[in-house]
Chains A and B, each alone.
Chain A
Amino acid sequence: MDALPILTIPDDRLKQPSEPVTEFDDRLRQFIGQLESTRQQGPGAVGIAAPQVGHFRRIAIVDCSATRKPVPNHGNLVLINPEITHWEGYEIGREGCLSVPDYTGNVIRATRIRLKAQDVQGEEQEYEMEGYEARAAQHEIDHLDGILFIDRVVSRRTDLFKRKVYR
């Protein structure tokens, strides 16, 4: 399947919040197939969100099953109308984006999240995620709200230290 064209900054449409999905039909499944092909053709992308291809619906794909070093993950996840219900901890990590070519930066994200989302059939699912996969989900859900990681980049001087935990 052909990759869809990806919107890149400074395209203002990337700032547009996306609408919930209401119809779980063949058209939705076909779009998700195209979105997944686009992700796979984006070099090294562990996630993609529908607005990145100009489709302003609350759909994201996260797949951390093929990272260079294995990380805890739920395989290939299609997240429809996702909602984070719980956040815990925070950590800094480096991010890039298919919509922001030739730039990477450090972003603070929650270490562990719980999230609710519907699957392709429209069934409610709940996931607990940590670390890299949780970061990917937060990055993609931001896209659905019109937020890019460059809106959240922290200065290297701000905090790159792993804070030691004193008990």
Chain B
Amino acid sequence: MNNNWYMLTLTGEDQPGIVARVTQALFDRGLNLGEASMLRLGGNFTIMMMVSGELDARTLESGLADVARSLNLSLHIDPMQGGLHRHVPPNFMVRVSGADKAGIVAKVTGVLAEAGFNILDLESDVAGRAEQPVYIMQIAGIASVPLETLEDALKALRSEGIDVNISPVETLVG
């Protein structure tokens, strides 16, 4: 198998069949899939997907142009370094919620970054009602400092009305 990986980005208005038709097009061209994240954001469907194969980036792009056009998806392809089997299990989970206000993500992640916390996975959403939005975020990550250090660092944010808590993640292996 070819070890050249490309990162494919596809986004567009959500409709049934996007994943099926895109992955069928990839399969028809002899491409292999790697890790992927596919989800609906704000009524759009978004795909970020590792693919590998014998094609160069240009051939890959023209090979996918038809399916992207027919589904009204914008397509972007980057050659990428790296590959599979580089997972790092998180050892902390941070949960944030609060009235949606400017800078909430920057503040929380800034504090974490300063403590050497590396984000592996961040999901954020805006819930509540249009006139009273609530920001909700979960961050899985890895840090080598103790829980107490991160707790202390996040404590200051609570006085600013941001509900944030952190808990250790101990992955059970059995």
Contact = CB atoms under 8 A, between A and B. Distances in A.
Given A156-B138, A157-B123, A160-B95, A104 B174 contact: no
Interface string A88-123: 000001111110001110000000000000000000
B95 A162 contact: yes
B87 A45 contact: no
A39 to B, nearest CB: 9
Interface string A20-60: 00000000000000000000001111111100000000000
A140 interface: yes
A94 B173 CA distance: 9
A98 B121 contact: no
B93 interface: yes
Contacts, number: 66
B169 interface: yes
B85 interface: yes
Interface string A132-167: 100110011001000000000000110011100000
B131 interface: no
A6 B138 CA distance: 35
B168 A45 contact: no
Contact of A96 (B167, B168, B173): B173
B131 to A, nearest CB: 23
Interface residues of B, number: 20
B145 interface: no
What is the interface of chain A mostly: helix, strand, loop, or mixed? mixed
Contact of A104 (B89, B167, B168): B89
B114 to A, nearest CB: 24
B138 to A, nearest CB: 5
Given A157-B123, A160-B93, A160-B138, A136 B85 contact: no
A67 interface: yes
16 contacts: A42-B173, A44-B173, A47-B172, A94-B171, A95-B171, A96-B89, A96-B172, A102-B87, A104-B87, A136-B172, A139-B174, A156-B138, A156-B140, A157-B39, A162-B95, A162-B165
Given A46-B173, A94-B90, A162-B167, 18 more contacts: A44-B173, A46-B174, A47-B172, A93-B170, A94-B169, A94-B172, A95-B174, A96-B89, A98-B173, A103-B87, A104-B171, A132-B172, A139-B172, A139-B174, A143-B174, A156-B123, A156-B140, A161-B138
